[in-house]
Structure 1
């Protein structure tokens, strides 16, 4: 359904270091490194979709956080959600909701929420039972 998601960053080097750590837990890595142009892109492989991009805003204005915006990465297991959350906190993220069931979404929704180093709300979720 999605081709890509892009989030603005104030510091591409810092953002890359952070996402290299936290997305590795999910088998996602930097596939497109254009830091000299202010962009990096992540995916499960070089031809994979969707892609997750970070970059300096094209309009040259400061990167800002979207109110009501959450980017969610799917995890194959609840253990991976836990690992993502702990890796993110260790890399400097802020807690926005510890790993756990969120039955108000559906009975098997197991998610964790963080704020990345630019303040974007990021989720990692497993939809499988146990």
Structure 2
């Protein structure tokens, strides 16, 4: 099976675009090219699309309870840059960059985006 996309809720697309352009930029990804008049924003993360937009039911977006999206970083410095970019772009800290005991010592950090979605970035995280 191949994952095609992940979507998070956004109550403010301008803030969301700025946050993810900054954090994805720190991981070496290109900025969002979705035209401003579109009702969502989207990034191509090497074949998997990451989307953000309002809830289809018209209600306010809320973060997933227990949900975390983790991104791969090429180095510990990239994890630090990702975390710093998130903090300076409206995110909040959920775990400073450091070796994480819950990940067998892999180097990682956690943020919440401006809408409260929990994100992580890791270098050296093994899935085995």
TM value normalised by structure 1:
0.87
Closer, same or farther in 2 for the Cα pair 1:14/1:31, shift >3 Å?
closer
RMSD: 1.8
- Where in structure 2 are the equivalents of 1:1-130 lying within 5 Å? 1-44=2-45, 48-107=46-105, 109-127=106-124
Alpha-carbon offset, residue 19 of structure 1: 1.1
Alpha-carbon offset, residue 34 of structure 1: 4.3
CA distance in 1, matches of 2:10, 2:36: 12
CA distance in 2, matches of 1:53, 1:9: 10
TM value normalised by structure 2:
0.88
CA distance in 2, matches of 1:69, 1:30: 24
Kept in 1, the 8 Å contact 2:21–2:31? The answer is yes
Gaps of 5+ in 1: none
Gaps of 5+ in 2: none
How many residue pairs are counted as aligned between the two chains?
Answer: 125
The 3-state SS of whatever aligns with 1:85 is helix
